[in-house]
Amino acid sequence: MERSIIIAPSVLSADFSDIRGALSQIEHSGTSWVHLDVMDGMFVPNITFGAKFIKDIRPCTSLFFDAHLMVEEPSRFIEEFAKAGCDCITVHTEACKDIKATLDLIRSFGIKCGLTVKPDTPVTDLKDYLDDLDLVLIMSVNPGFGGQGLIPETLDKVRWLHDVRGSRRYLISIDGGVNLKTISAVAESGVDVAVAGSAYFNAPDKTLFVRKMSSGQGENS
């Protein structure tokens, strides 16, 4: 059967002065997800946008809102982000005081919940939560900025998550440095979802880009 990886373009690399145009471009390029990188300048050394931005763009599109919260103690903001229209909220193990309570809070709003780890955090830190997760995100760069190179060792974490999944429902996602050159190794490791920021927005033909990326063959397709 042909491989089909969900491609989640990250608006981090979009021109925020034309966010409507970027969302419409994503919809028309043949994918149904958009990745929303929320950064607070504390957990990561960069600031992007908050729940108001997400609430304002919600009526512009029916794309699946895959929110990645790079914020300290995200439980403070879960209600606001859920009500803004996120379909899935992913939080960092390193940022939560109480990981289980934060995941329960996300689920209490009837949306999907995800958990992620930075490149230096062992994947086994996710072990106790796997039964209840809809998404597990492996950071393949140190979070904060788009356009960095993928750290190859992080693919071992994807392989581990793939091997231990069994009948659990979680999707495995990867974020950082995913492009036409790296996608084949990423696909072989067993991901279901690939976030692409700079590679997507730099691609001259976005429909072709999504097609090549979701086949998992990239440049070889």
Task: Kindly list the catalytic residues.
Answer: 37, 175
Restricting to residues 13-32, which ones interact with ligand DX5 according to CB under 6 A? Answer: 13
CA torsion through residues 185, 187, 193, 195, sign: positive
d(C-alpha 90, C-alpha 93), whole Å: 10
85 by DSSP, 3-state: which?
Answer: coil
Residue with smaller CB distance to ligand DX5, 69 or 84: 69
d(C-alpha 95, C-alpha 214), whole Å: 31
Number of residues counted as binding Zn ion (CB under 5 A): 3
Residue with smaller CB distance to ligand DX5, 13 or 121: 13
Asked if 216 is part of the footprint of ligand DX5 (rule: CB under 6 A), the reply reads no
Task: Show the site string, 60-79: x = touches Zn ion by CB under 5 A, - = not.
Answer: --------x-----------
Amino acid identity at 11: V
Asked if 173 is part of the footprint of ligand DX5 (rule: CB under 6 A), the reply reads no
Among 33, 37, 96, 199, contact with Zn ion (rule: CB under 5 A): 37
DSSP string covering 132-171, please? G-SEEEEESS-TT-SSPPP-GGGHHHHHHHHHH-TT--PE
Stretch of residues binding ligand DX5 (CB under 6 A), selected from 5-13, 105-113, 153-161, 211-219: 5-13
Restricting to residues 65-84, which ones interact with ligand DX5 according to CB under 6 A? Answer: 68
Among 74, 114, 176, 216, contact with ligand DX5 (rule: CB under 6 A): 176
Widest distance between CA atoms in the chain: 45
Q: How far is the first Cα of the chain from the last one, in angstroms, to the nearest whole number?
A: 16
Asked if 147 is part of the footprint of ligand DX5 (rule: CB under 6 A), the reply reads yes
Dihedrals phi, psi of 56, to nearest 5 degrees = -70, -30
Select from Zn ion, ligand DX5, none the partner in contact with residue 71, using the beta carbon and a kind-dependent cut-off of 5 to 8 Å.
Answer: none
d(C-alpha 206, C-alpha 210), whole Å: 6
Among 5, 10, 22, 133, contact with ligand DX5 (rule: CB under 6 A): 10
Stretch of residues binding ligand DX5 (CB under 6 A), selected from 9-17, 59-67, 164-172, 208-216: 9-17
CA torsion through residues 122, 89, 8, 166, sign: positive
What the block records as the tokens of 46 is 């960069």
Question: Binding residues for Zn ion, per CB under 5 A?
Answer: 37, 68, 175
Question: Binding residues for ligand DX5, per CB under 6 A?
Answer: 10, 12-13, 35, 37, 68, 141, 143-144, 146-148, 175-178, 195-199
